[in-house]
A = this chain, B = another copy of it.
Amino acid sequence: MGFQILDGGGVATPAGFQSAGVVAGLKRSGAPDLALLHSTVPATVAGAFTTNAFAAAPVRYDQHVLDGGGKVRAVIVNSGNANACTGGQGDRDARTTAECVAQLLGVAPGEVLVSSTGRIGVPMPMPVVLNGARLAVAALAAGDEAGARAAQAIMTTDTRPKSLAVELVLGGRTVRIGGMAKGAGMIAPAMKLQPPQATMLAYVATDAAVSRAALDRCVGQALDQSFNRITVDGDTSTNDTLLAFANGCAGNPVLETDSPEFPEFFAAFAFVLARLAREMVLDGEGVTRFVELNVTGAASDAEARTCAEAIANSALCKTAWFGADPNWGRILCAAGYSGAALDAARVRLDYEGVPVVRGGMDAGTPEKQLVEAISRREFRIDLDLGVGPGAFTVWTCDLTYEYVKINADYHT
């Protein structure tokens, strides 16, 4: 690939970006809970949001801003409160937050976006948020450490921050792409490109000059190879959000969808999203195993996806993975009720390349060998339905005691 990973990089690694992560006081724990990402110059923005009918106030607010088509300067992100199911007051609170940050930064109110994650249905404690906004603006800084602080502040049940930056040469100029994300629970993004599907939150900042159309294309295509293929628990949040900012500070000629350099930029952009998505699953609530599940031989890609998601969200499959139980019957069972067309007599299944099922029946591999294959922290499952050319890949995980523990007693 024509890019390299920058050790320790994040959203404030690309030129012209600053970020901050501060303690506003939204989390009872006293942990950082407010992040700010700021571009020193107006940035092109593209995004994708949850398709949940109870889309949170900040999601609706951001969609409205993105629909306007203008450039933006910042996004403020709080953890500890989702500002979802909060009615008209929630909408006013999202707007007030954006306006406050805009005023503090000296930019137009329509140039600031807002994201929230945390408990649903609790009114935003606005004095706390607005005071935190002042702290965040005062703390803005460029560089890796500032990015790390922002990545820390957007966490909820995440056990570690997820942050990344890459660098590539584009049109003779050095270009950087930084990203951060939070995930952990309520993860089954179903985002569509503006108006789209994503309580994972993810932010990508690049100093490349990219047209809105090209940035939209990057987000749309990379989603399907990253966040839209992951599922932790099958719950699609009210707050899922992906935002990408391109501020042009690298000085490259503006990248268009038909630029010769587009594929190279896209590859780097998609890598950042895919890495963050993968990290999100690995840090899913209580996760002990990462599973890449490839469904092939389906009637269509859509059916392959339906089948893959049924398996990935099956409590019986997920608990079997936790126990390293090669019980392939549960996988075939889930495929069978998914509604995807399949030819039972032609179905094939492999664990890490080891034959498990051939012709819809036990392939005869000794159980010990199967247990070994799925006892790894990360393993791959290939299922072929035997009817057509459709294919889809999901990244998922096991279901553990720890998941139940975390979610039976969740108060941010």
Contact = CB atoms under 8 A, between A and B. Distances in A.
B85 A332 contact: yes
A252 interface: no
A209 interface: no
A314 B120 CA distance: 16
A325 B410 contact: yes
A36 B86 CA distance: 57
Interface string A314-336: 11100110110101111011111
A135 interface: no
Contact of A408 (B51, B119, B319, B345): B319
Q: Which of A236, A238, A327, A330 has the most CB of B within 10 A?
A: A330
A314 B315 CA distance: 10
Contact of A409 (B314, B323, B330): B323
A367 to B, nearest CB: 10
Contact of A333 (B120, B360, B409): B120
6 contacts: A53-B336, A53-B341, A85-B360, A186-B316, A236-B336, A323-B407
Contacts of A190: 337
Given A53-B337, A238-B333, A362 B121 contact: yes
A410 B320 contact: yes
A329 B233 CA distance: 16
A405 interface: yes
A315 B119 contact: no
A283 B344 CA distance: 32
A85 B348 CA distance: 12
